[in-house]
Structure 1
């Protein structure tokens, strides 16, 4: 190996040894004890708010999990999962009895229907020839308009309530659907029954389920059993909606800077919603919320011309009217990171609202080794990323299995003496690092002089 290569190798080895030796819990600004309630090989933790406030990197690359011997454990960060759920809405139906039983060729039953301008049925009657007997023969249901062109919001079931005083009842019903009361499509058949015992306990099957569909009107006919007018018919309409996530919210007080308000935050917070809260009432506050690409330093001055990047522009307010208070809601901003947030009011005002940042925490997975209690450490400017992919920490685990992993319990936050949050650099660590760097430069200079002497001799 040549002399310069030896010098570079020695320098790289020195830096690597320094980084490895310095990757201990004492090198991080904050630590939190982690305890496991069960003996498990893999544990998870919903990251506390303190981690996002104290971490120094956008992607939490300065976060570690150490065992009681101070050795780092393999870990991964699982992004928050967006869960969907089906919301079921009840749509009461308007029920119109059909009197008269019709037999013979199809289409022998005619309907006289009166509707209003919105298409709501006002009256339904039967007419035609071939009537064999009078009496209830069917029901027409008016469910209102389902105008959604997607599968969401379609009706997937009917629920029936028997007339008051009905003790036992069994029947088989056929359902047809229509949008115009002229063209009918078969949809489902189902058996309904109610059985009441001597203790007045009821065993019932009162639902008719079918493939989700959109329709305005429904026609019920009896294939078996005695027709009756139900006390109520309710349609069930399912819609897939995103479940509201459990979010963390950080409230920040401002520091006036010229005509703006500055809020100290953390680059690690993945802000999803931004809101302003006012202590006073009857406030209307049009403003832009964003950040500068270069933060305020050296007092209140920036080194270069500012470049403001707004992420939200709205009129925030808190108004009391007619005995009720109206408050502006937080604004979705996707995902935004900033160490400092700026509020720029559109008009001159003395109001200094509290900034509220909301986000959905990620989940930490780590591999336990039985050497607890473990320690979560974060807050280090020069930390390298050591996090793995979730499948590398929990190989072969499904999403459901990950959700059922034992949860670690985080203890009290412990700041490290001598470490500052702003920068979070340790004085002693900086001295060691500069010593290693200067030693490396000296080695390069020594080998360079040695190489020059060899060239002169040759």
Structure 2
């Protein structure tokens, strides 16, 4: 009797161990993989996930993402994301006119710069207000009171000045040494009884005491009426945007253009590829989760690509509301000349950083595309003791191997589906065998009692 019970337990343990062994995840359970190469000593590595990974996943929250080593072991990992709502602080700043062609601020007419132990004082000379030089070259913004990294600039100017504004942005901490911070573009146009404005410029998210805006097209700067800077808290995590490859449009009813995504994603920006000729098109963008739901407005603005003697003016991006959408629709006001044909669209998504703990030997692979996978991600603080945004920047990097593209591991829904059904069959078979053994044991136990 004891031998029979022992055999039953051994069989049960064997079935459970076999089931557990079969349930261990393997790279073949996932439809897509990307080969990785590691740089540095580790043991933690970070990778900014490309847009291709988001589009290949079966879940927008990336619960079906794993990292495997050469032995086929799944590695511990975490996903680091920017906050859903970014916190920016608004600051009104003082501005000072820059006249003529003076590149050195200390030589700019109309300005006197005095430095002392208590700081820098900028004065606007009254004599220059009476007799201004010929041309207004640009503006100096005093950001010395802002202690946080600068993320955005918003300007307003006198209402009678319309058209495009193109200027160079430079930053300084001492008013003598200037470093480039990119280009800015503003626009104010009257179109079809509407006024379309672009007053905002994104900044690189670094600290600076002064900003210098030098106009390039037109050479004469407009008269400012307001200047605001937006700063980001030092301890906040701000990740860049990742962009998709160009996606072709489908013509929809009413002359609109439409795109279908593989899954709903929280898009922050889109970029429309404009034609080579001069283009000017007011547009509206709407989206929905999929199916036949209602279209929700996501954003609107003016897209343009205009060639001038001094260079090209281009605005081909639109900021969206960040809502998760699977379908996008673009409506173009053709009175502006249109886009010159069906446009291509690039999707902009706030980056997600993958952090994993290296173990085992290469090759290391990032895999995606299992519809039944549950999230295995740890919190960043559990994976890395003392985690912080600063420490994230100091981690060694994992990169996609040169020329790497998504590789199919197995036909999607093929090997994982077969294995899933096999596991269920094995489980049911084990339960059936256990039931038969239990009945047999009960019968054997009752037989001696009835004989007695």
Q: Using structure 2 for the length normalisation, give the TM-score.
A: 0.54
How far apart in 2 are the matches of 1:286 and 1:159? 40
Mean CA deviation greater in 319-328 or 401-410: 319-328
- Per-residue CA deviation, residues 42-73 of structure 1 (Å, 9 max, x unaligned), is 11122233312312211111110112111111
- Alignment equivalent of 2:284, drawn from 273, 281, 288: 288
Residue in structure 1 matching 2:374, options 361, 366, 384: 384
Residues 330 and 442 of structure 1, relative CA distance in 2, 3 Å threshold: same
Contact 1:41 1:368 in 2 (8 A): yes
Distance 1:387 1:395 in 2: 15
Matched-pair contact (CA < 8 Å) for 1:42–1:405: yes
The DSSP-based 3-state class of the residue aligned with 2:382 is helix
* Separation of aligned partners in 1, 2:26 and 2:173: 60
- CA 1:83/1:67 → structure 2, altered by over 3 Å: closer, same or farther? farther
For the Cα contact (< 8 Å) 1:52–1:266, is it kept in 2?
no
Q: Which residue of 1 aligns with 2:72?
A: 70
Query: Out of 343, 354, 363, which is 2:344 matched to?
Result: 354
Identify the range of structure 1 (65-74 vs 280-289) with the bigger mean alpha-carbon deviation: 280-289
Shift of 1:318: 3.2
Aligned twin of 1:45: 47
Query: How far apart, in 1, do the equivalents of 2:424 and 2:345 lie?
Result: 42
TM-score by length of 1: 0.54
Using the alignment, how far apart are the partners of 1:160 and 1:406 within structure 2?
36
Inter-CA distance 265–19: structure 2 relative to 1 (3 Å threshold): farther
Residue 416 (structure 1) aligned with residue 403 (structure 2): no
Q: Distance in 1 between matches of 2:253 and 2:277?
A: 25
Report the CA distance shift for 1:283/1:39 in structure 2 as closer, same or farther (over 3 A): closer
Residues 392-442 of structure 1 deviation map (CA, whole Å, 9 limit, x = unaligned): 1111244323211111232223522542xxxx42x2332343455578789
Shift of 1:386: 0.8
Residues 60 and 268, structure 1, Cα contact 8 Å, conserved in 2: no
| Structure 2 SS opposite 1:36 | strand
Q: Is the 8 A contact 2:30 2:409 kept in 1?
A: no
Counterpart Cα distance in 2 of 1:392 and 1:402: 14
User: Cα distance 1:20–1:335, how it changes in 2: closer, same or farther (>3 A)?
Assistant: farther
- In structure 1, the partner of 2:442 is none
- Quick check: which has more Rg, 1 or 2? 1
- Name the SS of the counterpart of 2:277 in structure 1: coil
Q: Evaluate the alpha carbon distance shift between residue 94 and residue 53 of structure 1 in structure 2; reply closer, same or farther with a 3 A threshold.
A: same
Classify 1:283/1:394 alpha carbon distance in 2 versus 1 (closer, same or farther; 3 Å): same
2:36 pairs with 34, 37, 47, which one? 34
Encode CA deviations 1:251-309: one digit per residue, 9 max, x unaligned: 211122434323243437542211322225243433332323224xxxxxxxxx43212
| Mapped contact 2:70–2:360 kept (Cα < 8 A) | no
Query: What's the counterpart of residue 225 of structure 2?
Result: none
**Residues 345 and 63 of structure 1, relative CA distance in 2, 3 Å threshold:** same
Partner residue, 1:141: none
Tell me the secondary structure at the aligned position of residue 335 of structure 1.
coil
Higher mean Cα deviation, 68-77 or 28-37?
A: 28-37
Q: Who is 2:261 aligned against? A: 265
Residue in 2 that maps onto 1:58? 60
Match in the other structure for 1:252: 247
C-alpha spacing 1:378/1:319, structure 2 compared with 1 (3 Å): same
Give the whole-Å Cα distance in 2 for the aligned partners of 1:444 and 1:160: 80
Q: Which has the higher helix share?
A: 2
C-alpha change, 1:395 and 1:443, in structure 2 (3 Å) is same
SS of 2:296 mapped into structure 1: strand
RMSD between superposed Cα atoms in Å: 5.2
- What is the SS of the residue equivalent to 1:400? helix
In structure 2, relative to structure 1, the CA distance for the partners of 1:356 and 1:446 (3 Å cut) is same
